């Protein structure tokens, strides 16, 4: 088995992928394998007893949201009882930022990879502060989530249908010329998203206060497009998964307890290690001791060659995650050391339009000792609190080493 030849196939699939945001649907209706008694979560598999605070908080919130529990105590009992199941979003062609919790009745964005025909899904972004994805579940958190899911999501779905979809590959490319890296910084993309959707939204027959509300949701949330961007990355990488012999990473994700990867040539197996705590800037009143270990599927962006891999395109981000603009350039330059190609569709103006470093090779990670860089939000370690900062993190090298060993066993005669 020729690893390089397999990787060539994977690289071609990643570069050829053409993700388009085609619409919105209810998770139960559109996410493959979704069930009423199933809660999807970020990262590799994890049982209730090993779940971190913010993930537990988000699960409690989802059970309350679905009417499966009447209060926190009931929700905790139910979660621990085994009567609800927990599975990674990644097992269902889905991704979710931070806790990533997605339950049956929640709406999801639908991204179609026009080249390879596969689809990927992501839940809706709630904005800032006390939100479910950071483990908050107070009544006002769930009220806002309900409004987003029941008013914003169907309207955006209608508008996307009228527009014939939104080209996510072109949108991400444009974001990178506008100071976004597509993970922690999505203000340009979210502005383009709002601007492009607005005329179509005006045609959806919404009541005036609903229309204003939806437009305000888009106007006030600089991360509105993060979830479609993540689904676009997932649709890209799912098409590149499952190529026998390939050493390319097709998924990196964290559940707040463990960090895990999957590799194209190694099937559905996860390679995991304890998740580290991010280094970063904390909101007033919080510090590193309050921080939960790294959590979320949003590392799908780095896996697809954007996010921290495209830091050079987003020098202003250092005001939020720490460091200097020079560090931002260095971050991208370093990632070329562990990737197989440069994506010409995602050109970084600051590097003379060099393509983003793309297709992480576990062999290169192990050989160089350079682990992928990741931008991330920071959740409080207790359930119910929410976001307390943003920063940078390096995943542990062990999962890459283990994956390489597994690959070696597989490809050796």
Which residues of this protein are in contact with a second copy, per CB under 8 A? 177-180, 187-188, 190-192, 194-196, 198-199, 201-203, 208, 211-212, 215-216, 218-219, 315-316, 318-319, 324-326, 349-353
- Nearest distance from C-beta of residue 333 to a second copy, angstroms: 15
- Nearest distance from C-beta of residue 283 to a second copy, angstroms: 20
Task: List the one residue out of 358, 371, 372, 367 whose CA is nearest residue 404.
Answer: 367
Compute the distance between CA of residue 383 and CA of residue 221 in angstroms, rounded to an integer: 23
* 192 or 335: CB nearest a second copy: 192
Compute the distance between CA of residue 248 and CA of residue 94 in angstroms, rounded to an integer: 20
- Nearest distance from C-beta of residue 202 to a second copy, angstroms: 4
CA 322 to chain centre: 21
Tally of CA atoms within 13 A in the half-sphere of 366 that contains its CB:
16
- Nearest distance from C-beta of residue 318 to a second copy, angstroms: 8
User: What are the b/e assignments for 138-152, b being 16+ CB within 10 Å?
Assistant: eeebbebbeebbebb
* 112 or 180: CB nearest a second copy: 180
* 178 or 406: CB nearest a second copy: 178
Residue 27, both tokens: 């998770």
* 35 or 195: CB nearest a second copy: 195
- Nearest distance from C-beta of residue 214 to a second copy, angstroms: 9
- Nearest distance from C-beta of residue 13 to a second copy, angstroms: 28
Compute the distance between CA of residue 89 and CA of residue 177 in angstroms, rounded to an integer: 30
Compute the distance between CA of residue 275 and CA of residue 291 in angstroms, rounded to an integer: 12
Question: Do 113 and 362 form a contact (C-beta atoms < 8 A)?
Answer: no
User: What are the b/e assignments for 49-74, b being 16+ CB within 10 Å?
Assistant: eebbbbbbbbbbbbbbbbebbeebee
* 190 or 339: CB nearest a second copy: 190
Residues in Cβ contact with 25 at an 8 Å cutoff, skipping those fewer than 6 apart:
107, 108, 110, 157
- Nearest distance from C-beta of residue 195 to a second copy, angstroms: 4
* 181 or 294: CB nearest a second copy: 181
* 324 or 368: CB nearest a second copy: 324
């Amino acid at each position: 088995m020729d690893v390089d030849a397999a990787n060539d196939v994977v690289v071609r699939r990643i570069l050829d992928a053409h993700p388009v945001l085609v619409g919105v649907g209810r998770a139960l209706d559109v996410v493959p394998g979704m069930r009423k008694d199933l809660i999807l979560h970020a990262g590799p598999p994890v049982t209730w007893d090993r779940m971190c605070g913010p993930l537990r908080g988000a699960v409690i919130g989802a059970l309350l949201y679905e009417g499966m529990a009447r209060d926190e105590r009931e929700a905790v009992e139910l979660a621990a009882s085994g009567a609800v199941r927990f599975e990674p979003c990644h097992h269902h062609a889905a991704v979710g930022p931070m806790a990533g919790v997605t339950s049956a009745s929640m709406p999801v964005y639908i991204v179609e990879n026009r080249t390879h025909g596969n689809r990927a899904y992501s839940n809706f972004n709630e904005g800032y502060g006390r939100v479910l994805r950071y483990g908050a579940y107070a009544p006002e958190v769930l009220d806002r989530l309900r409004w987003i899911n029941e008013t914003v999501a169907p309207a955006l779905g209608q508008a996307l249908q009228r527009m014939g979809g939104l080209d996510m590959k072109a949108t991400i490319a444009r974001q990178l010329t506008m100071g976004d890296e597509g993970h922690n910084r999505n203000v340009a993309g979210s502005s383009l998203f709002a601007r492009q959707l607005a005329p179509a939204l005006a045609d959806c027959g919404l009541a005036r206060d609903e229309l204003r509300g939806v437009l305000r949701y888009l106007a006030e949330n600089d991360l509105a497009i993060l979830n479609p961007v993540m689904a676009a990355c997932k649709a890209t990488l799912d098409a590149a998964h499952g190529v026998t012999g390939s050493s390319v990473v097709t998924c990196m994700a964290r559940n707040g307890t463990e960090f895990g990867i999957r590799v194209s040539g190694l099937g559905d197996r996860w390679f995991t290690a304890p998740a580290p705590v991010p280094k970063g800037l904390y909101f007033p009143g919080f510090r590193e001791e309050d921080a939960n270990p790294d959590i979320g599927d949003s590392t799908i962006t780095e896996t697809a060659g954007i996010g921290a891999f495209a830091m050079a395109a987003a020098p202003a981000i250092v005001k939020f995650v720490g460091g200097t603009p020079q560090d931002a350039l260095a971050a991208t330059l370093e990632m070329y050391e562990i990737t197989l190609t440069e994506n010409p569709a995602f050109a970084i103006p600051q590097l003379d339009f060099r393509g983003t470093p793309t297709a992480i090779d576990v062999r290169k990670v192990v050989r160089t000792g350079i682990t992928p860089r990741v931008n991330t939000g920071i959740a409080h370690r207790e359930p119910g609190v929410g976001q307390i900062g943003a920063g940078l993190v390096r995943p542990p090298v062990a999962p890459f080493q283990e994956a390489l060993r597994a690959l070696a066993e597989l490809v050796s005669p």
